[in-house]
């Protein structure tokens, strides 16, 4: 799946079949279901990719202190761009890993 195809899938009523769990979380986030995305991030705490997603989601929530904690747990620097850029970056990373 390309980034453009993933973006187009955001108009569907549910995530497309075959998405990785992390892409599914980003799909939910883009569709306003922060809770579903957060539940996925919490499901594998201690796994870098999930912790990195967790950091982004707390940044979305506006909880920068908690986001900082999750960036550190993920071994990642705090993302310097805006939320839309960070979302796109995460999608592209996870599309490459599938």
pLDDT tens digits along 18-53 = 999 999 999 999 999 999 999 999 999 999 999 999
Predicted structure pTM score = 0.95
* Distance in angstroms (rounded) separating the CA atoms of residues 28 and 14: 9
Unique residue bearing structure tokens 């990195």: 52
Count Cβ atoms below 10 Å from residue 79 Cβ, excluding itself. Answer: 18
Task: Name the nearest CA neighbour of 52 among 89, 98, 95.
Answer: 89
Domain count, the chain: 1
- At 31 the three-state DSSP class reads coil
Q: Is the pLDDT reported for residue 66 higher than 90? A: yes
Residue 91 has pLDDT above 90, yes or no: yes
CA distance 75 to 47: 10
Question: Which tokens go with 97?
Answer: 């890993």
Give the domain range for residue 48: 3-96
**What band does 8 get if pLDDT is binned at 50, 70 and 90?**
very high
Per-residue pLDDT for 14 more than 80?
Answer: yes
pLDDT score of 98 more than 80: no
């Amino acid at each position: 799946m390309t980034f453009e195809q993933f973006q187009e899938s955001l108009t569907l009523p549910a995530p497309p079949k075959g998405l990785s769990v992390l892409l599914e979380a980003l799909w939910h986030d883009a569709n306003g279901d922060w809770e579903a995305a957060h539940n996925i991030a919490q499901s594998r705490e201690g796994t870098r990719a999930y912790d990195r997603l967790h950091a982004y989601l707390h940044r979305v929530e506006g909880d920068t202190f908690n986001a900082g904690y999750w960036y550190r747990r993920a071994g990642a620097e705090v993302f310097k761009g805006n939320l839309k850029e960070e979302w796109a970056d995460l999608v592209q990373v996870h599309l490459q890993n599938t």
